[in-house]
């Protein structure tokens, strides 16, 4: 059973950095063809379709992915990705359900924490910031922290962490445009400056 190796992840994130979602989808399809019983190709297919603005197709790909998950960590990853797509679609009740399922499987899943935070914030529930703060320890890398700061309304900290994350992973310049945590900042001049290719 295939697991995601560093080379695959780097290649796929490189395609995201180039906003080449067509090739990203083709690469995901090659992963599916090579190992149809593995969750990872379907997961990347869902990721590509999400970024390409095809959320309904992304949901179907993630459903196929979760059917092939071998353990709770893989299943949690897919459930959190589904929650993220539902947040993108503004289906926040579904997003919260899938984020909760993700966190039941793996309480340390940062994408699950952030997806639940987005769902709570988007439905006007004040505990979103408190929830993210209570789970701050699972937000390990600078992109996760940038998302967390954004959800907590800490704009300056979010921008600083986002800059750091783009230095470490240029694909975050693209994902920040798609992730709902940054929706309130899309017209912010500093945010626009940070995500602009150098």
The pLDDT score that the predictor gives to residue 1 is 43
Q: What is the pLDDT of residues 80-138, one digit of tens each?
A: 999 999 999 999 999 999 999 999 999 999 999 999 999 999 877 778 999 999 999 99
pLDDT tens digits for range 166-188: 999 999 999 999 999 999 999 99
Query: What is the per-residue pLDDT for 187?
Result: 96
pTM (2 d.p.): 0.94
Q: Contact, 162 vs 191, CB < 8 A? A: yes
Within 10 A of 107 (CB to CB), how many other CB atoms are there? 12
Average of per-residue pLDDT values in the chain: 95
- Give 2's pLDDT tier (boundaries 50, 70, 90): low
> For residues 55 and 88, is the Cβ–Cβ distance under 8 A?
yes
Q: Under a CB-based contact definition with an 8 Å cutoff, are residues 112 and 83 in contact? A: yes
Closest CA to 195 of 16, 68, 21, 57: 16
* Distant-in-sequence contacts of 107-110, Cβ < 8 A, 24+ apart: 107/138, 108/138, 109/76, 109/77, 109/80, 109/138, 110/138, 110/139, 110/140, 110/144
CATH class of this structure's domain 1-70: mainly alpha
Please give the Cα distance from 58 to 25 (Å, whole number).
11
Q: What per-residue confidence (pLDDT) applies to 123?
A: 79
pLDDT digits (tens, 9 = 90+) for 10-31: 999 999 999 999 999 999 999 9
Residues 6+ apart with CB under 8 A from 104: none
* Nearest-angstrom CA–CA distance, 60 and 85: 11
């Amino acid at each position: 059973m295939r697991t995601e190796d560093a080379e695959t992840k780097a290649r796929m994130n490189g395609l995201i950095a180039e906003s080449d979602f067509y090739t990203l989808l083709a690469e995901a399809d090659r992963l599916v063809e090579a190992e149809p019983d593995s969750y990872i190709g379907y997961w990347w297919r869902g990721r590509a379709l999400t970024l390409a603005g095809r959320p309904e197709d992304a949901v179907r790909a993630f459903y196929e992915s979760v059917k092939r998950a071998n353990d709770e960590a893989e299943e949690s990853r897919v459930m959190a990705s589904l929650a993220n797509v539902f947040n993108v679609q503004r289906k926040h009740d579904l997003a919260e359900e899938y984020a909760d399922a993700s966190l039941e499987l793996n309480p340390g899943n940062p994408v699950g924490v952030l997806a639940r935070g987005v769902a709570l914030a988007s439905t006007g529930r004040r505990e979103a910031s408190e929830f993210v703060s209570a789970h701050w320890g699972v937000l390990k890398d600078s992109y996760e922290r940038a998302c967390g700061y954004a959800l907590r309304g800490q704009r300056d900290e979010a921008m600083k962490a986002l800059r750091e994350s783009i230095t470490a992973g240029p694909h975050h310049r693209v994902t920040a445009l798609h992730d709902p945590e940054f929706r309130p900042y899309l017209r912010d001049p500093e945010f626009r400056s940070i995500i602009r290719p150098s």
